[in-house]
Amino acid sequence: MRNIKLTIEYDGKRYLGWQRLGDSEKTIQGKIESVLMQMTGEQIEIIGSGRTDGGTHARGQVANFKTTNTMETARMLDFMNHHLPRDIVIKKVEEAGERFHARYNATGKKYSYYIWNDPIPTALYRNYSFHYPQELDMEKMQTACEKLMGTHDFIGFSALKKSKKSTVRTLKELSIQQEGSMLHFTFVGDGFLYKMVRIIMGTLLDIGSGKLPLETIDELFEKKVRKAAGETVPAQGLFLDEVYYH
């Protein structure tokens, strides 16, 4: 039995997210499994490094699947990209060790979030950024980013109701780059809770626009209550850039 590792890029605009929902053709997992079954003649279930929400994009999602098919990886790559819709692309097909698991073996992830910060909206990037017309205090947002970095309990920045598992995560990088009206936020961490990046982004925007004080960050770590944080920003500005493994 072979264990095959896939690196995947996709535009999430017309999908309900990564996870297969019944027989829905509107999920990334569902589309890829359908092509893999056609390719191998086997019932295939792929394991993703994590679920992305509807509308979220990926430059480097990772998944794996098991097969007895003997097709070479280069031919698999060609077959999949020929049969998949053009908004899903397989960037790499590799043989993985028998025990490799895309989700359990992941040691960290990198995400990007894009804000179009201009009174005038953008036609070209509307599906790949969140239009936020209000003026933002970049200095305050930088300070908030510094407060968020490090090891903390991020339950207040999550849409989880309750969790038996630990909600402590380490945010190794949270940076902002500006190019004209586009703000690019980079998140690197050992793991992310449900909707954590989008809630942190909403909180940063509220701090930058003066709706929330900087102290909100400390209060959220202390009180661990979701309702004290900012809004959950829309999914279309979010990209899963990379998944890290040892």
Rounded Cα distance between 132 and 116, Å, is: 6
Active-site residues, by number, are: 53
Please name the helix (run of DSSP H) or strand (run of DSSP E) that holds residue 59, with its range, or none.
Answer: strand 57-67
**Torsion angle, alpha carbons of 59, 66, 79, 56, to 10:** -20
Compute CA 84 distance to the chain's CA centroid, rounded to the nearest angstrom.
Answer: 21
Q: Convert 47-67 to b/e letters by CB count within 10 Å (16 or more is b).
A: ebbbebbbbbbbbbbbbbbbb
* Cβ neighbours of residue 179 closer than 8 Å, sequence gap 6 or more: none
**Cβ within 8 Å of residue 87, ≥6 positions away:** 10, 11, 13, 14
Helix, strand, or coil here: 114? strand
